[in-house]
Structure 1
Amino acid sequence: MNRTTFLSMASATAMLAAGAVQAADVPDGVTLADNQTFSYRELDQFASIDPQLIEGVPGSHAARQLFEGLMNQDENGDLVPGVATGFEVNDDNTVYTFTLRDNARWSNGEPVTAGDFVYAWRRAADPATASSYAWFVELSGIVNAAEIIAGEMEPDALGVEAVDATTLRVTLTGPKPYFPLMTTHTTLFPTPQATIEEHDDNWLDPENIVSNGAYTLSEVSLNEFWSATKNPEYWDAENTVIEEVTSYVINDTSQALTRWEAGEFDLLEPVPAGTFPRLQEEYPDAAHSTPRLCSYYYTLNQGEGGPEALKDARVRRALGLAIDREIITDRILQGGQTPAFSFTPDATSGFSAPEIEYAGWTQAERDEEAKRLWDEVGYTDVNLDLLYNTDESHRQIATVISQMWSQKLGVETTLENQEWSTYLETRRAGGFDVARAAWCGDYNEASTFLDLLTTGVPQNSGKFSNEEYDNLIASATTAENPQEAYTAAEQVLAQEMPIIPIYHYANSFLLDPTLKGFPMNNVENNWYVKDFYRVAED
């Protein structure tokens, strides 16, 4: 949980200062550049920028510029006011009352009201919306969310109420002291009901979209770029310095680096695998590596359409043990990433990684146990398809791991590369044996990772289902010390190996030194262009 905010949240009332700095905080004496634009590279075209339909990093980065939720994050990941100036919470952390600012406006000039949040959250939970993030509403603990998602109750039964235009009351099924952190996620952003009802699936077209963030969408060129301009209706437009945002879709990481070096855009994250040490020497003012709340892993299909071999935990453990993670982090990536033996990263607030036995072994000991398990199972002819989305580092990692499996276990692997949208559809449909995956925390608490592998969650694409694991995660929601349940849950994952943790991320990136305000200490990597500004070059 957030180190600072939750000290006050433990009491009956927790109000954030409405006067906190919200947009670019330009120090006195700084000379701003004439050019106040920001541009960045994205690996893939976003599948959607509809807040209730977003399920990937590209869409999330875009939505944080176009929309604004109740709360935002500062450079350290701590909560600061967004549409809400603050909130009150009752004694047992089950009822939150948010006070909305009265000068929040949609880009068409209409006021942003508590009703807009009620509409959006009901929309996210409504089965008719078919949101792959509906489970996030249930995870948040809002009353009746589970029943609505299951089709047992109507969306208007959701435990969220517009007391008046600027007061939003949320009722939870149980204590959730980190609930305000969850409101920074795109799923809980407001959406404009009238615009959606008028334009249906076309409401996000630049000529139709109505948004409430610091920027408004101006152009989208599929698989090439999108751009946005400063929203004059945004409540803090006066202190928003950057006038225009552009995101370029560049699948080829080497080409992306070449174009950054040519000055075509400001931010390249991540840098190509293996290049960070050189880039740090060549561009010491631009190259950075910071901790990231993300895990890179392979998910193993244990569903009906998955290979029979992967339904055996011994096979899954053997595949996991045979991977030499240090080769991947130290020889391929070289950007500060660390080998992963637990799903939840060490960077997670309040989480301490459990002592997982095989994490302390040498790789030779892991290989020996992998071969023992393989011999015990008795498989002699296993062929696996390994799915990954387009990216050179994903290809390199898949190639190396397939070689490890072949040399150590005799497993033959066919690599299958798909572009982002197709890859997401394939994973959702269970059309894979092994799939490259990554998860970045939706909020800074261990449940954002561990809930992902509970039975029935859509993002649990490998269809792992374990009653002991589900009970542990359920117990953590009301436990005085959830760490005990999280530790036990990670031990279940280490034994059952439904996924293979490979590494915990570092955010190794290049940022134009004239661009200031980037949140270097935000492990969720949630950045808001409204906080940026460009200084004049010396």
Structure 2
Amino acid sequence: MKKYSALLILGILFLILAACGSNDNSESSGGSGDSAPASNGNASSEKENQEEPAITNAIIRVAMKSEVDSLDPYQASATDTGIMMDNVFDGLFDTDENGELIPNLASDYQISEDNLTYTFTLIENATFHNGEDFTAEDVVYSYSRLAGLETGEPLSDKWAVVENVEATGDYEVKVTLKSVDSGFLARTIIAILPEGYEEQETHPIGAGPFKFVDYRPGQSLLLERNDDYYMEDKVPQAAEIEFVLMPDTQTAVLALQAGDIDIIPGVNAQQLMQLDDSVTTLSGPSNMPVIFGLNHAVEPLNDINVRKAINLAIDKDEIINTVMQGSATKIDSNFSPAMAFFYEDSVEGYYETDVEAAKELLAEAGYPDGFDLKMTVPSHATMYTDSAQIIADQLGKANINVTLDPVEWSTWLEQVYTDFNHESTIIGLTGKIDPYDVLIRFVDGYSRNFINYNNAEYNEMIEKAILETDDNERATHYKRAQEILAEDAASVFIMDPDSNTVMRDGVTGLKHYPIGKLNLEDLSITK
């Protein structure tokens, strides 16, 4: 039996994100967001004022671009929802700003020699917001629900690997897997819910630093401080957090200047230029691949030459320079360079813009005069709408006539992300702390494979990687998977945008994370 202290946790993950700073743009599993330039990566503030006393009953207002899609953390898909509700729930572990796992509701864990059994030791002083004590039964309830152990239907494909969950004591849980899964531990950041509580969809209850108060669709989500939070040194200073729905970032910027908003995630470079030195900006790579997704179930996108032609016709530099003001990293596979240890740099520059070569490939594929293509565009973020217009113009030069179909975010989630009912789309895919969770998106049969991609070698590489416990061997498989996506022109992989979060003067303590996260419990308010 291999034993690990939660205080020393997991080389798996800090290797993954060696070069990573944060993420504030949202995604397809709930994405959204405009991005922008860079400042200091992990610094909690550029203007921290340690001399002014902190205000202990402040109300912090955060502008968010998209609606809550579900208050139940196991049903939510949107990244913005996760960013907001992460403050209500805690998992067995959490991730810090460097991508390392840190203890939350678990204090340590053991892994069996065959890597199939995980035994978690739990903390003994946590309570849920309804006053109930946190025990092993809550973990059994939560993980059993995720794995579908009673229904036979896992809530996520990634939890289908769980064979059994049992409480071996009031504060000890044993999880048995059907097969080795090197990404399993990273998944333990997911929320633990109180056993038997059935009202998560209307009044969510967790064990996190903030309690749910009220949700007004189309307007706001209100949280209040959890004064009984089990991490006494992490009890928030802010009395309340109000997330205000503001799909237009420019409107949010004006509200911040007027003193009506305190924090704005996802501010782009142009908007940053409008702000003066009274604000603090946190910036860094978002670890969020933005892709022009091509549905392989739709003709002629099932033809590799057509997909290659589309890749050759698109000028990613124009998109980055025009939409992002240069503040993004060009990518050529569904993987950010921010995940340095597992990143395959040989795919860089795989498709250089060549419109004439694109036309030749289209002719070879039987489309000498081009074809019509519909692009479904989530309309809540200008990063998507502006990029989509540029892509349409660029493809037009290769005689591909693109019709843009802007849709509401909730419609996109249902139509594209759930039902795969589209020809093409543009979206950012939220960063994860394990490469498996990034690359499984394109495995055949995966429930979120919205481009209907199927490549036998790709599927094999992902399967081999998840069964491998040696990080170097895992990296070999994941790097080959990235090469396959590029070779196959699986979609057009455009960029990893820089992310910017802006705070008004007097708000300090916010950090960058490699996944969508706002550490609001760490905020200090002096004005």
The answer for unaligned runs of 5 or more in structure 2 is 9-43
Aligned counterparts of 1:235 and 1:244: Cα–Cα separation in 2: 18
**Structure-to-structure mapping, 1:242-321, within 5 angstroms:** 242-272=238-268, 274-276=270-272, 278-279=273-274, 282-283=276-277, 285-303=279-297, 306=298, 308-321=299-312
Cα offset, 1:131, TM superposition: 8.4
Q: Which amino acid aligns with 1:452?
A: R
The match for 1:180 is 185
Q: What per-residue deviation string (whole Å, max 9, x for no partner) do you get for residues 479-506 of structure 1?
A: 4412222222122211222221111122
The Cα offsets for residues 404-454 of structure 1, whole Å up to 9 and x where unpaired, read as 0001x1111111111111111111222211111221133x23222111100
- The CA distance in 2 between the partners of 1:398 and 1:512, in whole Å, is 32
Name 1:69's counterpart in structure 2.
Answer: 91
Aligned pair partner of 2:377 in 384, 388, 394: 388
Higher RCO structure, 1 or 2 (CA under 8 Å, sep 6+): 2
Indicate which of 337, 356, 359 corresponds to 1:371. Answer: 359
Which residue number corresponds to residue 220 of structure 1? Answer: 215
Q: State TM-score, norm by structure 1.
A: 0.83
Q: CA deviation at 1:194?
A: 2.7
- Alignment pair present for 1:159 and 2:193: no
Matches of 1:170 and 1:114, distance apart in 2: 11
Secondary structure in structure 1 of the residue aligned to 2:439: helix
Superposition map of 1:125-140 within 5 A: 125-126=147-148, 134-138=156-160
CA distance in 1 between partners of 2:127 and 2:223 (Å): 17
Alpha-carbon contact 1:345-1:504 (below 8 Å) kept: yes
Q: How does 1:135-534 map to 2 (within 5 A)?
A: 135-138=157-160, 141-142=161-162, 158-184=163-189, 186=190, 189-196=191-198, 199=199, 203-206=200-203, 209-236=204-231, 239-240=234-235, 241-272=237-268, 274-276=270-272, 278-279=273-274, 282-283=276-277, 285-303=279-297, 306=298, 308-334=299-325, 336-356=327-347, 359=349, 362-363=352-353, 366-379=354-367, 380-390=369-379, 391-407=381-397, 409-427=398-416, 428-442=418-432, 444-479=433-468, 480=470, 481-520=473-512, 522-534=513-525
Contact 2:137–2:195 (8 Å) recurs in 1 = no
Q: Is the 8 A contact 1:289 1:335 kept in 2?
A: no
Post-superposition offset of 1:94 = 3.1
* Aligned-pair Cα RMSD in Å: 2.6
Equivalent residue of 2:76, what SS?
A: coil
Q: Deviations over 1:8-66 (max 9, x none)?
A: xxx92211249xxxxx9x99866213553322111111111212112111221122111
Q: Residues 267-323 of structure 1: CA distance to partner in whole angstroms, max 9, x if unpaired?
A: 2121146334x247x3375233212221110211122xx2x1111011111112211
Structure 1 distance, partners of 2:326, 2:256, is 18
More helix by share: 1
Q: Is the 8 A contact 1:384 1:413 kept in 2?
A: yes
- Fraction of identical pairs, as percent: 23
SS at the partner of 1:102? coil
SS class of match (1:195): coil
Q: Paired residue for 2:123?
A: 101
TM (norm. structure 2) is: 0.85
Give the whole-Å Cα distance in 2 for the aligned partners of 1:30 and 1:166: 42
Letter in structure 2 aligned against 1:134:
S
Which is worse superposed, 454-463 or 326-335? 326-335
Q: Do 2:61 and 2:244's aligned partners in 1 also have CA atoms closer than 8 Å?
A: yes
Over 3 Å counting, the alpha-carbon distance change for 1:501 and 1:94 in structure 2 is same
Question: Structure 2 counterpart of 1:225, which letter?
Answer: S
Paired with 1:381 and 1:17, the residues of 2 have a C-alpha distance of 58
- 2:49 counterpart of 1:59: no
